[in-house]
Amino acid sequence: MNGSNIDIDWTVARDANQDNWNDRVPLHEVAYGLDEFDDPSHLSDVVSADLPVLRRFLPDGRITGLDLCHLQCHIGTDSVSLARAGATVTGVDFSAPALAAAEALAERTGVSATWIETDVLDARAAVTGDFDVVYTSIGTITWLDDLDRWAAQIVGLLRPGGTFFIRDGHPALYALDEDAPTLVTRYPYFGDGRAQRWDDESTYAGDGKVAHPRTYEWPHPLSEILGSLLKAGLRLLHFDEGRTLPWRFSPRMVEVPGGYAWPESERNLLPCTFTVVARKD
């Protein structure tokens, strides 16, 4: 049953997720509109939305010249966009095919970036150096079972005074029944350490099917997300909640500028994303 909670070893779940994300790469190379990056001024929609917020918390409001580590970078569209905005970018992901696609995109568009293959939960040991900015955005932390370990990687990667940025799907959104005719909760908001098992041949982008449809995700309430960052020693600078998503979570969502949203009559009832900016003192 989709969304059922089960006990599963992290490495088993991680390997299943890796197989699934490897399968997504050729589908997303088509669906992500990579040809648009042939325009040297083009930035991904995600980075176009995130940069104005991030810049408010950077020295002189500029990302130019800063060392930035992009965790869970997938096929590199956001990494390339951040590099185009002026950052020196290191992209981190656990999928070798995704990083190969990212490297090919960077080379084709004349963008310089470094690519590191590792689990995000092992990022500090795998990545050389430290960074002014650690960045992650959209569809990331539900794939992780241990947010304390995740937060420790972020703190370890940041220089003193460095800035962490995350925008991701709101945990209240993930508790909803995506197929219901109204906003109805179906899945746990609070996690209990168990994974949610999903079997889905499709992905959030494109029309193809994956060969490895089984994945595992973990619900993390806002209290756990913020608590893990604070416990790791980061200082919260900014928190916000948004009404739009860059992908269609539910068939009932309608296309709006910047992505997808619930029908207008429901748009103020529930957040779709959260954004956190924090600093290492």
Contacts of 104 (CB under 8 A, 6+ apart): none
Tokens of 29: 């190379």
Is the pLDDT assigned to residue 3 strictly greater than 80?
no
Quote the mean pLDDT of the chain. 96
What integer pLDDT is reported at residue 205 of this predicted model? Answer: 83
Between CA 182 and CA 185, with CA 184 as vertex, the angle to 5 degrees is: 160
Mean pLDDT over residues 13-38, rounded? 95
pTM: 0.96
Query: Residues of the chain with pLDDT > 70: what percent?
Result: 100
In this predicted structure, what is the pLDDT of residue 1?
A: 56
H helices, E strands: number in the chain: 8, 12
Nearest to 119 by CA among 88, 153, 164: 153
The three-state secondary structure class of 21 is helix
Q: Is 70 helix (H, G, I), strand (E, B) or coil?
A: strand
pLDDT at 249 > cutoff 60:
yes
Dihedral in degrees, nearest 10, Cα atoms 95, 100, 105, 106: 100
pLDDT of residue 11: 97
Q: Please give the order of strands across the beta sheet that includes 158-169.
A: 113-117, 88-93, 67-71, 131-137, 158-169, 273-280, 234-242
Parallel, antiparallel or unpaired: strands 88-93 and 67-71: parallel
Q: Where are the domains of the chain?
A: 4-280
**Helix crossing, 77-84 with 45-55: angle to 10°?**
50
pLDDT of 242 reads: 97
* Mean pLDDT, residues 145-170 taken together: 98
Residue 8 is given by DSSP the state -
Distance between CA atoms of residues 214 and 16, nearest Å: 7
Instruction: Return the CATH number of the domain spanning residue range 4-280.
Output: 3.40.50.150
Tell me the mean pLDDT in the region 182-208. 93
Per DSSP bridges, beta strands 273-280 and 234-242 are antiparallel
pLDDT digits (tens, 9 = 90+) for 53-81: 999 999 999 999 999 999 999 999 999 99
d(CA 150, CA 145): 9
Q: Look at 120-129, 194-203, 233-242, 266-275 and tell me which has the smallest mean pLDDT.
A: 194-203
Taking the CB of residue 203, how many other CB atoms lie within 10 A of it? 19
At residue 203, the pLDDT reads 87
